Structure 1
Amino acid sequence: MAWTTDAPGGQRHTGYVLGRLADGTIPTYRSGQALYEREFTDSPNGAGGTWSGPGAADVDQPTALVPACRCGWRGPDTPYGGEALLPDDAMLEARAVWRAHAAAVLDAQVPDGYRDKISALARNLHELADERPRSALVLARQLREIADHLEPLAVAQALAQGVPWETIGVDLDQTKQAVHRRYGHPSASLEQRVRELTGGSVAALLAVARDRRRGTPPPAPRARWSQAVTRALRPPAGNGVGVPGS
């Protein structure tokens, strides 16, 4: 069983399901000189399912399903045939995890509602720069700080959905090497922002992102994000510059 998602520009991701046996391995079969992993299809008519490839009848049923994508992405194991999930539910869960991965990888378009709000804000900021330039400077600093807090959370969520570093770099208009270097060797300011948001380090944030399962809480609690935004919007003490509406 395979699922396909297309996106504008001809991009395509194809998902499928592997199975993990009780000993922790994914069964394989050989065709000529090549070794292939067996794909697993859950039976719609009863318990169990079938493996791909020759000799499939001799292979035990899996204890977990592993969502996978032709791009090389692998999702977390989903218990199969045990008490945690019924077999049909496990297959649905595996497909949902893959669909989330495909959507995250293929869709970099900003939703119209967000784009409209940003456009309206940009127009207001242009007027503010003409009328009250110091207030505009304060807002520019505040927006930059909010964006700097937002980026590591978005990077972690993208990694959790299987988005590769190269694609993250494209979305940030940077090279894969530059983004990977910034998060692999984070600056003190980046470490401080992530600690404010999550209570942990950049390395811990990325490690948790790679191991996250679909439906688990985001890396930063909403309360911590709200606190970070409140700090960013607070004018410096003794500044004397007010922002309209603040």
Structure 2
Amino acid sequence: MHQTPGSEIALKVVSAPRKRSYKQVVKAAGAGIISAAMVGIFALPVYAATEPLPDAETAHAQLLSTVSSSTIAVPAHLPSAEEQPIVVEAAIEEEVFAVASFSIDIPAGAGAQGIVDGAYSQLGIGQDCTDLVQNSLSALGLVTPRLHGGPDLGTSVGTWAQFGYVVSDGSYAPGDILIWPGYHVAIYVGNGMAVHGGWTNGGRHAESTVLTGAFATGAPSAVVRVA
């Protein structure tokens, strides 16, 4: 077969541009696909990937709805600032009344029972034995109670005998003052029992007022009956 140089050259010249055009088309198509993909990624709105943030009112409502009423313990009544002093004042008034009750005169003929009642009213109070007896006698108005600053009358027989007389027949009556000189005093309340001050666990000088046996520390050396 005989070919002329001119036609071969022309064929190559014509074919070359077509080959390049095919590559360019492929590249352009690839670039278009990539560009489309990138546009698809970066052109997505923000709300397409995340949930929208609630506004302030919605967030507040959601916060309230998540708290169960059973998880919050609120007292039925919270005292106000004005109510607080009332409670304190009530307690003070009760204490003042308790102290003042020792100074109320007992009607004639009930003196011994008045001493017994005064002794019973002091059960559980922290005080020594002489305070107990003196406060009990103050129910009759005979002495100034220790609670009001009265002097300590001690444990001597003579001091307590000024309010009555010393019993010499060995008898005991409710309201009698039992005396262990230099050691202890108590109020006899009947049935072999007495109210003792300054007492604990069967011992003495523990600043507690109790009801126990009249002879828990042995028989008293003297008994004074208030006249």
TM-score range normalised by the length of the shorter chain:
under 0.3
TM-score (norm 1): 0.24
Greater gyration radius: 2
TM-score (norm 2): 0.26
Point out which structure has higher relative CO (alpha carbons under 8 A, 6+ apart): 2
